[in-house]
Amino acid sequence: MPEPTGASDAPVSPGATGASSRGFEAVLIVVYGLFSLAATARSSVQMLRDFSFAPVAYLLSLVAALTYIAVTIALVRGGRRSTTALVLCLVELVGVLAVGTLSVLDPALFPDATVWSVYGQGYGYVPLLLPVVALFFLVRGRRKGPEASVSAR
Protein backbone atom coordinates (compact mmCIF):
# COMPACT_ATOMS: atom_id res chain seq x y z
CA MET A 1 0.00 0.00 0.00
CA PRO A 2 1.63 3.28 -1.08
CA GLU A 3 2.15 5.96 1.52
CA PRO A 4 1.05 9.57 0.96
CA THR A 5 3.95 11.48 -0.57
CA GLY A 6 2.83 15.07 -0.50
CA ALA A 7 0.70 17.58 1.35
CA SER A 8 -1.98 17.27 -1.33
CA ASP A 9 -2.56 13.63 -0.27
CA ALA A 10 -3.04 14.50 3.39
CA PRO A 11 -6.56 14.93 4.72
CA VAL A 12 -7.63 18.51 5.17
CA SER A 13 -9.10 19.35 8.54
CA PRO A 14 -12.21 21.55 8.47
CA GLY A 15 -10.58 24.11 10.75
CA ALA A 16 -7.56 24.53 8.49
CA THR A 17 -9.36 25.29 5.22
CA GLY A 18 -9.54 28.76 3.77
CA ALA A 19 -7.38 30.22 6.53
CA SER A 20 -6.03 33.06 4.40
CA SER A 21 -9.54 33.90 3.20
CA ARG A 22 -10.89 33.99 6.74
CA GLY A 23 -7.86 36.00 7.86
CA PHE A 24 -8.44 38.64 5.20
CA GLU A 25 -12.15 38.66 6.04
CA ALA A 26 -11.25 39.32 9.69
CA VAL A 27 -8.97 42.20 8.67
CA LEU A 28 -11.74 43.63 6.51
CA ILE A 29 -14.19 43.42 9.42
CA VAL A 30 -11.72 45.15 11.75
CA VAL A 31 -11.05 47.96 9.24
CA TYR A 32 -14.78 48.48 8.68
CA GLY A 33 -15.29 48.45 12.45
CA LEU A 34 -12.62 51.12 12.92
CA PHE A 35 -14.12 53.25 10.18
CA SER A 36 -17.53 52.81 11.82
CA LEU A 37 -16.13 54.27 15.03
CA ALA A 38 -14.16 57.04 13.29
CA ALA A 39 -17.02 58.17 11.07
CA THR A 40 -19.56 57.99 13.91
CA ALA A 41 -17.30 60.04 16.17
CA ARG A 42 -16.61 62.57 13.42
CA SER A 43 -20.25 63.06 12.47
CA SER A 44 -21.36 63.23 16.10
CA VAL A 45 -18.80 65.89 16.98
CA GLN A 46 -19.55 67.87 13.81
CA MET A 47 -23.32 67.81 14.36
CA LEU A 48 -23.10 68.61 18.07
CA ARG A 49 -20.54 71.37 17.60
CA ASP A 50 -22.21 73.41 14.87
CA PHE A 51 -24.74 71.57 12.72
CA SER A 52 -25.95 74.78 11.04
CA PHE A 53 -22.48 75.51 9.59
CA ALA A 54 -22.50 72.59 7.12
CA PRO A 55 -25.58 70.41 7.61
CA VAL A 56 -25.25 68.54 4.30
CA ALA A 57 -21.60 67.69 4.93
CA TYR A 58 -22.30 66.54 8.47
CA LEU A 59 -25.27 64.44 7.41
CA LEU A 60 -23.12 62.83 4.72
CA SER A 61 -20.56 61.95 7.40
CA LEU A 62 -23.41 60.32 9.33
CA VAL A 63 -24.46 58.41 6.19
CA ALA A 64 -20.86 57.20 5.83
CA ALA A 65 -20.85 56.09 9.47
CA LEU A 66 -24.13 54.20 9.11
CA THR A 67 -22.86 52.58 5.91
CA TYR A 68 -19.67 51.39 7.63
CA ILE A 69 -21.69 50.03 10.56
CA ALA A 70 -24.06 48.18 8.22
CA VAL A 71 -21.21 46.67 6.17
CA THR A 72 -19.45 45.56 9.35
CA ILE A 73 -22.59 43.81 10.59
CA ALA A 74 -23.25 42.23 7.18
CA LEU A 75 -19.69 40.88 7.00
CA VAL A 76 -19.85 39.49 10.53
CA ARG A 77 -23.18 37.79 9.90
CA GLY A 78 -22.84 36.65 6.30
CA GLY A 79 -19.15 36.63 5.50
CA ARG A 80 -17.88 36.77 1.97
CA ARG A 81 -21.09 35.32 0.51
CA SER A 82 -23.30 38.06 1.98
CA THR A 83 -25.49 39.69 -0.65
CA THR A 84 -26.25 42.46 1.82
CA ALA A 85 -22.55 43.25 2.23
CA LEU A 86 -22.12 43.25 -1.55
CA VAL A 87 -24.99 45.70 -2.08
CA LEU A 88 -23.84 47.93 0.80
CA CYS A 89 -20.29 48.06 -0.57
CA LEU A 90 -21.68 49.11 -3.96
CA VAL A 91 -23.72 51.84 -2.25
CA GLU A 92 -20.62 52.89 -0.33
CA LEU A 93 -18.53 53.10 -3.52
CA VAL A 94 -21.21 55.15 -5.29
CA GLY A 95 -21.37 57.45 -2.25
CA VAL A 96 -17.60 57.95 -2.13
CA LEU A 97 -17.44 58.62 -5.86
CA ALA A 98 -20.43 61.00 -5.82
CA VAL A 99 -19.37 62.99 -2.75
CA GLY A 100 -15.73 62.93 -3.83
CA THR A 101 -16.55 64.25 -7.28
CA LEU A 102 -18.94 66.92 -5.98
CA SER A 103 -16.41 68.07 -3.39
CA VAL A 104 -13.76 68.46 -6.10
CA LEU A 105 -16.00 70.12 -8.71
CA ASP A 106 -17.86 72.44 -6.32
CA PRO A 107 -16.08 72.80 -2.97
CA ALA A 108 -18.61 75.46 -1.91
CA LEU A 109 -21.17 72.67 -1.45
CA PHE A 110 -19.08 71.39 1.45
CA PRO A 111 -17.95 74.22 3.74
CA ASP A 112 -16.54 71.51 6.03
CA ALA A 113 -15.10 68.14 5.06
CA THR A 114 -16.98 64.85 5.21
CA VAL A 115 -15.55 61.36 5.53
CA TRP A 116 -15.94 60.94 1.77
CA SER A 117 -14.81 64.47 0.71
CA VAL A 118 -12.19 64.47 -2.05
CA TYR A 119 -12.54 60.67 -2.18
CA GLY A 120 -11.57 60.26 1.48
CA GLN A 121 -8.47 62.43 1.32
CA GLY A 122 -8.65 63.17 5.06
CA TYR A 123 -8.41 59.44 5.75
CA GLY A 124 -5.59 58.66 3.32
CA TYR A 125 -8.04 57.70 0.54
CA VAL A 126 -8.95 54.54 2.46
CA PRO A 127 -12.67 55.34 2.03
CA LEU A 128 -12.14 55.07 -1.75
CA LEU A 129 -10.03 51.91 -1.62
CA LEU A 130 -12.01 50.05 1.06
CA PRO A 131 -15.18 49.35 -0.94
CA VAL A 132 -13.13 48.39 -4.02
CA VAL A 133 -11.11 45.86 -2.00
CA ALA A 134 -14.24 44.61 -0.23
CA LEU A 135 -16.12 44.21 -3.52
CA PHE A 136 -13.22 42.28 -5.03
CA PHE A 137 -13.17 39.99 -1.98
CA LEU A 138 -16.95 39.51 -1.99
CA VAL A 139 -17.27 38.91 -5.74
CA ARG A 140 -14.34 36.52 -5.73
CA GLY A 141 -15.97 34.56 -2.90
CA ARG A 142 -19.25 34.35 -4.79
CA ARG A 143 -17.58 33.11 -7.99
CA LYS A 144 -15.96 30.22 -6.16
CA GLY A 145 -19.39 28.88 -5.26
CA PRO A 146 -20.32 26.97 -2.11
CA GLU A 147 -16.83 25.50 -1.89
CA ALA A 148 -15.33 28.99 -1.38
CA SER A 149 -14.26 28.14 2.15
CA VAL A 150 -12.71 24.78 1.24
CA SER A 151 -9.29 24.87 -0.37
CA ALA A 152 -8.48 22.54 -3.23
CA ARG A 153 -6.55 19.38 -2.40
Q: Does residue 13 form part of some domain?
A: no
pLDDT at 142: 77
pLDDT in tens, 74-129: 999 999 889 999 999 999 999 999 999 999 999 998 999 999 999 999 999 999 99
* Rounded to 5°, angle at Cα 47 from 41 and 53: 135
pLDDT at 145: 58
Q: Does residue 8 form part of some domain?
A: no
Q: How many CB atoms lie within 10 A of CB 7?
A: 8
pLDDT at 42: 93
Q: Does residue 153 form part of some domain?
A: no
Q: How many domains does the chain have?
A: 1
Q: Residue 144 — very low, low, confident or very high, per pLDDT cuts 50/70/90? A: low
Q: Does residue 87 form part of some domain?
A: yes
pLDDT at 55: 93
| pLDDT at position 54 over 70 | yes
pLDDT at 128: 97
Structural domain that includes position 46: 20-143
Interatomic CA distance for residues 59 and 51, integer angstroms:
9
